[in-house]
Chains A and B, each alone.
Chain A
Amino acid sequence: SQKIEQNSEALNIQEGKTATLTCNYTNYSPAYLQWYRQDPGRGPVFLLLIRENEKEKRKERLKVTFDTTLKQSLFHITASQPADSATYLCALDSGGSYIPTFGRGTSLIVHP
């Protein structure tokens, strides 16, 4: 069956460090993968998209990698700040369906 796996345990890190979140998937052949941020009581907000033929994408302090052989995406936040504390969701399309399917998200807590 199809699965999108994100670590259900919260990631706690110290301010200034790099946060790395993982998204693994099985039985998907996504054309692209997206990362969203969700704050409590709010809807998800789009951050970055990476296509299947791209290895890495950067935006300011954010970096996403996409390894279609490992079926994994890594999401990095460098020089993390307490304001980065949120839940981060990965989403991928089901091979041309154009409908993003979401993982459960990983909570990031950045301590001052």
Chain B
Amino acid sequence: EAGVVQSPRYKIIEKKQPVAFWCNPISGHNTLYWYRQNLGQGPELLIRYENEEAVDDSQLPKDRFSAERLKGVDSTLKIQPAELGDSAVYLCASSGGTGDNSPLHFGNGTRLTVT
């Protein structure tokens, strides 16, 4: 099966500019996650979707971050405006459900550098 696809792989922008990341999950996976990973740290959850519904977005900085998952398949994560502290790797993951029978499948991430 094809894995989780993310684009772009790298993005360099100046602070205050907008940026968007795209994720295509594994076909048939209803649950989609966006994580942020800082250097030397583990991934931290930003938002989780069940189909097209955001069911956990408590960690998403809503003043500048937004996400959508139209039709319950692809997802986009946006930052506007970006700040220096947003530099990180943004990881998308999907799973066939939730719980112990549904491990996460990650994409290779988008590395964002804000200058």
Nearest CB to that of A43 among chain B residues? B106
Across the interface, A104 reaches (CB within 8 A) one of B33, B40, B45, B107, namely B40
Q: Report A-chain residues with C-beta under 8 Å of the C-beta of B42.
A: 4, 89, 91, 102-105
The contact size tier of chain B is 20 to 34
Chain B contacts to A: CB under 8 angstroms:
4, 33, 35, 40-45, 48, 56, 91, 93, 98-100, 103-109
Q: Give bound CA distance, A85 to B44, whole Å.
A: 23
Can you identify 6 A-B contacts, CB atoms within 8 angstroms?
A44-B91, A44-B104, A45-B106, A97-B56, A102-B43, A105-B42
Asked, given contacts A31-B100, A51-B100, whether A101 binds B45 with beta carbons under 8 Å apart, the answer is yes
Q: Give bound CA distance, A45 to B100, whole Å.
A: 15
Question: Across the interface, do A34 and B103 meet the contact criterion of CB distance under 8 Å?
Answer: yes
Q: Give bound CA distance, A104 to B48, whole Å.
A: 20
Q: Report A-chain residues with C-beta under 8 Å of the C-beta of B104.
A: 36, 44, 46, 100
Q: Give bound CA distance, A12 to B27, whole Å.
A: 39
Q: What mask results when residues 28 to 47 of chain A are scored 1 for a CB within 8 Å of chain B, else 0?
A: 00011010100001111110
Question: Across the interface, do B91 and A99 meet the contact criterion of CB distance under 8 Å?
Answer: no
Question: Across the interface, do A98 and B98 meet the contact criterion of CB distance under 8 Å?
Answer: yes
Question: Across the interface, do B107 and A43 meet the contact criterion of CB distance under 8 Å?
Answer: yes
Across the interface, A43 reaches (CB within 8 A) one of B48, B103, B108, namely B108
Q: Report A-chain residues with C-beta under 8 Å of the C-beta of B43.
A: 44, 89, 102
Say yes or no: is A74 at the interface (Cβ < 8 Å to chain B).
no
The distance from the CB of B104 to the nearest CB of chain A, in whole angstroms, is: 6
